[in-house]
């Protein structure tokens, strides 16, 4: 299964921009991608959402930081972010992109919640769907993404009780 031309072109552009300017400028590119001015001109980027469930089917939610430029302080899924334009997190074909995003999800779960990759093996991430959406946040900032969704049931998370209490 192939990504649509628009999604594939956007994915390649996103990867190329990151490689050209280097990782230390990643934050600037991400912010430019969230300006409604650019979004209204068709800028689209890849993203993912992780929905982490415990064995009793309870979903772990996270409140976004006040410093976020899009949707600050809002409650959201367990983890959402963007794959970086680095080896292992990219891919033009859907199957390759899904594997890359699973690695990105492991990276962000560790970064945001301290959940180690060994606690959420790639095999536990189940690709659910791909959605395309556009959502303004405050008029200046917003989202325009092709987002991959991954529900994941985590049986062995030792920190689950600490996070949820």
The tokens describing 40, both together, are 């209204």
Which one of the listed residues 80, 89, 143, 152 is annotated catalytic?
Answer: 80
**Backbone phi, psi, residue 147, to 5°:** -110, 130
Known catalytic membership, residue 67:
no
Which one of the listed residues 79, 89, 143, 145 is annotated catalytic?
Answer: 145
- Residue 79, H or E segment: strand 79-81
State how far Cα 2 lies from the chain centre. 20
Cβ distance 62 to 73 under 8 Å? Answer: no
The tokens describing 17, both together, are 């921009």
Q: What is the set of active-site residues?
A: 80, 145
């Amino acid at each position: 299964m192939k990504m649509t031309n628009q999604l594939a072109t956007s994915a390649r552009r996103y990867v190329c921009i990151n490689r050209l300017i280097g990782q230390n400028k990643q934050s600037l590119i991400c912010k430019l991608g969230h300006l409604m001015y650019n979004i209204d001109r068709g800028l689209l980027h890849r993203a993912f959402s992780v929905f982490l469930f415990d064995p009793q089917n309870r979903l772990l939610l996270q409140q976004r930081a006040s410093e976020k430029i899009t949707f600050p302080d809002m409650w959201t899924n367990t983890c959402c972010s963007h794959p970086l334009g680095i080896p292992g997190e990219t891919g033009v074909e859907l199957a390759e992109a899904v594997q890359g995003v699973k690695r990105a999800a492991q990276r962000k779960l560790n970064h945001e919640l301290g959940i180690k990759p060994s606690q959420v093996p790639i095999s536990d991430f189940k690709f659910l769907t791909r959605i395309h959406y556009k959502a303004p946040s405050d008029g200046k900032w917003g989202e325009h993404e092709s987002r991959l969704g991954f529900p994941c049931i985590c049986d062995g998370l030792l920190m689950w009780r600490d996070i949820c209490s």
